Amino acid sequence: MTQLTSNTGLRAIVTGAARGIGRAMAVRLAADSLRWRGLPAQLVLADQHAGELEALASELRASGAEVVICAGDLSDAAEPARIVAAADLFTGLDCVASNAGMAVPAPLLQASVEDWDRVFSVHVRAAWLLGRAAHRQLAAARGCLVLTTSVSGSHATPPLAAYSPSKAAQIMLMKQMAVEWGPDGIRVNALSPGLTLTPGTAAAYEHAGAREQREARIPLRRLAQAEDMAAALSMLIGPDAGYIHGHDLVVDGGLTNTLMPSLTQPAWQGA
């Protein structure tokens, strides 16, 4: 459980931190550290977009945070350990937000083996290796690990051949980690965003009416913003979530509850 008071600020790793949800998470954790502990955060931020990562680091350092950046590709099996090793500059580790993600549009019949393997390596293998490398530090701090998954992990999403299967695997990986590592004092949860407007998804809403059509399906009638997911992460790692463990938190504005209402409904007759 993240403590309200400590001799250090919040010590965290965020992958996929340069843009979108990951960037919002990093900004939120820096603010949370000041609220919860009264001390600046100590953050390791990882992403393949080095320039944007450095710009974010400069912004957070200006607010007092201590930031280390790791520019690299999480499809490289050596990268997770390198990221966790960067946290050795701090006195420990309270949280790992395994957020890096990618999608390669293609139906199953046209998807390449290379793309399939890359998507699974970034979403599943990297999350496992991050957790394994950070296990000692997280156990010592009774810290937490949060995997950014997706509602696509529970709902097939064509034409993203590997995306939904990899997200489903992430959710099960989270549950496996929760069972195996809970006794070590590490809380593990997943965060499954719904339709979220980020630089990575913006192209999907450029066509006329696309955004309106999707928002009309969401009970809250709006797309999520990256900050909505950062707020959910804050809740999962925060001091009031100490008994939330092994849970896939769906943050979708109610979208996944709309299957039956989307069908043409019969005119029910009273008895």
User: Which active-site residues does the annotation give?
Assistant: 163
Which residues, 6 or more positions from 202, have their beta carbon under 8 angstroms from its beta carbon? none
One-letter amino acid of 24: A
> What tokens were used for 24?
């919002």
Those residues with Cβ within 8 angstroms of residue 145's Cβ, 6 or more apart along the chain or in another chain:
95, 96, 98, 130, 131, 134, 138, 177, 181, 186, 187, 188, 189
**Cβ of 127: how many Cβ atoms within 10 Å?**
28
- The one-letter code for the residue type at 70 is C
What's the first-to-final CA gap in the chain, in angstroms?
53
* Cα–Cα nearest to 90, from 23, 32, 33, 20: 33
